[in-house]
Amino acid sequence: MGYALDLAAMMHGHLTIVTVVDPLLDAAAHEASTAQSQQEITSLLERLVATRGKPYDRVGISVVVGDPARKILEQIDECNADLVVMGTQGLEGPRRLFFGSTTERVLRESRVPVLAVPADAT
């Protein structure tokens, strides 16, 4: 999220943070999972902004339920995005084949450039 925040601030752009919640998890948690996700993102965002020394108020948060790649692609259109910055899980081998790759699908189907940032990047 830090890379995306820095890019948005540098370009004076709007940043929309999108988190997709698994439908089964959401149903099991009786929709508490989406509210908790929103609260956790807000808290992380506040800490990131504080470490950068200046406020940044052009940020939106969207927590949606469904297939991650499809929901991210829908958000690209809804937000009229110019760029997508997304973290990667780095799955390899059989795990990647079994679970699929959200990043790979977004890279293939996005109408805008996608910057994929490794999850462990500093």
Percent of the chain with pLDDT over 70: 72
pTM over 0.95: no
Cβ neighbourhood burial of 18 (10 Å; 0-12, 13-18, 19+): buried
In residues, how long is the chain? 122
Q: Identify the band that residue 92 occupies on the pLDDT scale cut at 50, 70 and 90.
A: low
Question: 53-78: per-residue pLDDT in tens?
Answer: 666 677 888 888 889 999 999 999 99
Domains recognised in the chain with CATH numbers? 2-118 (3.40.50.620)
